[in-house]
Structure 1
């Protein structure tokens, strides 16, 4: 199922090409370039909470605002490491619907799965396995970040790393995977 598929990719980025246009040839005319984020070296997680200046940590995106029944149909996100340093994606291996069913056993069909559900899941002593995947400059990932817990990281790296982001509807293999 593509909703839980995470692909590590290498970008076909050509110098001088606008980042906004990078995903245009990938087949989704409704793709939106979200912009870039710069992560300092040695950050355990990289996503800022703009409301209080702290880091969010592992989280779900909610660009599509999908309810429980549709959460697995959200757009997949392409993230490209622009460098200069290496970065990582940190991923939870349990999906949002499973967590939501556990935390809200009686009313999960009425829920909008959220990062707080994962926090409640862990607080109730349920385990979450997390993996970390290395992304060199020019590499990235395609993942359904509204369905899988994730964040970026530059932990143990001595250079900053910028990343660019695009949500869109891409089938598996678009762009070609590295692994």
Structure 2
């Protein structure tokens, strides 16, 4: 399955979204050996590609990607801790859980670092809910808020984790999809393209990051940025769409 992006205006999507291929990193000083990384030959998403990515009206929320703005004013006024943990840029639902935040320097092709070795994971899967293959689509979606000061990108692979596992013969109901599956898929020569969707300061996304290969990126951007994350089962359309 391809990503399902919620949008109504192709021109707005095209302004924010580009696509490229991926490759396996070997001997790269910043990335783990075998990490899947985007190839820096980005092209705009065509109308045909956009039609394939458009989420239908009946799309399950757990499978949808939304680019969002926030209704609450964003203010850094707080005492102790990151301000967004005290004053989130939205009204939290009862199930919303703050996950973490991460600051990324400018110019990074991918942003997520493995704390065990200090190297970047590349395109990967989250595992907050740790659901197996048979129930992977029941995972919570992740909300990201770009606190700035710079813009950043959401990177999304164009093939979901269940499809990757099925093509690798790892579709046992008890199998837990993992970043290693993505790496094995690309290493075996299967094509995995990558979308990058721009988020300016004060903007964000909601995405099924346990279902879709993904990462952040600040490639080609001149300023660092910090992203804050929450997890929940948000319905589609709770937040105003950017596209």
Deviation at 1:95, TM superposition (A): 0.9
On the 8 A contact 2:72/2:90 being kept in 1, the answer is no
The 4+ residue runs of structure 1 with deviation greater than 4 A are none
On the 8 A contact 1:75/1:167 being kept in 2, the answer is yes
Cα distance, 1:84–1:23 mapped onto 2, change above 3 Å? closer
On the 8 A contact 2:142/2:206 being kept in 1, the answer is yes
2:149 to 84, 105, 122: 84
1:45 maps to which residue?
110
Render the CA deviation track for 1:119-155: whole Å, top value 9, x for unaligned: 1111111111210001000111000100001000000
Say if 2:91 is the partner of 1:25. Answer: yes
On the 8 A contact 2:103/2:225 being kept in 1, the answer is yes
| Largest Rg, 1 or 2 | 2
On the 8 A contact 1:4/1:95 being kept in 2, the answer is no
Across the aligned residues of Structure 1 and Structure 2, the Cα RMSD in angstroms comes to: 1.6
Deviation at 1:112, TM superposition (A): 0.7
1:125 to 185, 189, 209: 189
On the 8 A contact 2:72/2:89 being kept in 1, the answer is no
TM-score (norm 1): 0.92
Secondary structure at 1:126's aligned position in 2?
Answer: coil
Give 1:69-108 correspondences, 5 Å limit. 69-104=134-169, 108=172
On the 8 A contact 1:90/1:153 being kept in 2, the answer is yes
Alpha-carbon separation, structure 1, partners of 2:90 and 2:103 = 23
TM-score (norm 2): 0.69
On the 8 A contact 1:9/1:175 being kept in 2, the answer is yes
Ranked by relative contact order (alpha carbons within 8 Å, sequence separation 6 or more), the top structure is 1
Deviation at 1:31, TM superposition (A): 1.5
Q: For structure 1, list consecutive stretches of 5 or more residues without a partner in the other structure.
A: none
- Number of positions where the alignment pairs a residue of Structure 1 with one of Structure 2: 177
2:9 maps to which residue?
none
On the 8 A contact 1:23/1:31 being kept in 2, the answer is no
